[in-house]
Amino acid sequence: MTFKTTAAVEETKAEVCALHAELLRWGLVTWTSGNVSGRVPGTDIVVIKPSGVSYDDLRPELMVVTDLDGKVLDGDLSPSSDAESHSYVYRHMPEVGGVVHTHSPYATAWAARAEPIPCVLTAMADEFGGEIPLGPFALIGSDDIGRGIVQTLEGHRSPAVIMQNHGVFTIGKGPKAAVKAAVMCEDVARTVHISRQLGEPVPIAPQHVDALYDRYQNVYGQQPAPEEK
Ligand SMILES: [Zn+2]
């Protein structure tokens, strides 16, 4: 078992490592919880955070390289305990190039109530194309979490799912897009939560959600926008 690294693998290790700082910066993680993974573009190789290493000590060379079954191909440390869930998503959603998991507090508060986050903000229509859906309760240590993520997100516009009693999983074309979805998920979870303290938030009509989503995904930003989605 000799794994020959490539420039693309090393680039993905550097990118995935650096993106963990964003989880801290946006207040999405505590201690060593939370993780980012990325698919090496065009391959069946995944780079993921090692288990139990504190954020300050993460370095690109400590990232763990796995195949799509979560088997370690390269790296001295064991992968994140969520690696199986990540690899299940990559196996079943070939368009996904990045996965993020957090227990960010406001979104996880919705998960604790087993309640999807209703689409009551234009920012939600833009980024998520509707509500942020709720995934099933699932125990750690089997395929159940991965299966729940895939079943909930397949055919859904949202790149984020809140897993019941657990926390947030997000997907993206690459790891940076998945991190962005995790940041936006927590942001809208907080705003809708605050709104609910004062009354019942007003839903956005479905045709307006569609129009907002279409504009944001296809028109918004600098054109042409090579920005990773
Ligand atoms: Zn978790």
CATH number of the domain at 173, please: 3.40.225.10
CA of 82 to the centre of ligand 1 (A): 7
CA of 102 to the centre of ligand 1 (A): 6
Which pLDDT does position 142 carry in this prediction? 79
Token reading at 8: 């693309």
Q: Is 143 a residue of the active site?
A: no
Is residue 21 a part of any domain in this protein? Answer: yes
Q: Which phi and psi angles does 37 have, rounded to 5°?
A: -135, 160
CA of 34 to the centre of ligand 1 (A): 7
Is residue 225 a part of any domain in this protein? Answer: no
Which pLDDT does position 18 carry in this prediction? 98
Is residue 224 a part of any domain in this protein? Answer: no
Asked if the peptide bond before residue 79 counts as cis, ω within 30 degrees of 0, the response is: no
CA of 193 to the centre of ligand 1 (A): 21
Which pLDDT does position 1 carry in this prediction? 58
47: DSSP letter: E
- Give the domain range for residue 193: 7-218
Is residue 227 a part of any domain in this protein? Answer: no
Is residue 35 a part of any domain in this protein? Answer: yes
Number of domains in the chain: 1
Strands (E), the chain: 35-39, 46-48, 64-66, 72-74, 98-102, 134-135, 160-163, 167-172
Which pLDDT does position 191 carry in this prediction? 98
Cβ(54)–Cβ(33) below 8 Å: no
Residue 206: name the closest of 133, 134, 135, 118 by CA.
Answer: 118
**CB-CB neighbours of 165 under 10 Å:** 13
**Which residue among the candidates 88, 126, 187, 213 is catalytic per the annotation?**
126
Cβ(150)–Cβ(88) below 8 Å: yes
Is residue 229 a part of any domain in this protein? Answer: no
Q: Is 144 a residue of the active site?
A: no
169: DSSP letter: E
Which pLDDT does position 64 carry in this prediction? 98
Is residue 228 a part of any domain in this protein? Answer: no
Angstrom distances, CA of residue 116 to CA of 65, 97, 113, 164, 185:
33, 25, 9, 9, 11
Is residue 226 a part of any domain in this protein? Answer: no
Mean pLDDT of each 10-residue bin along the chain, 229 residues long: 90 98 96 95 97 95 96 96 95 97 98 98 97 96 92 96 98 98 98 96 98 91 59
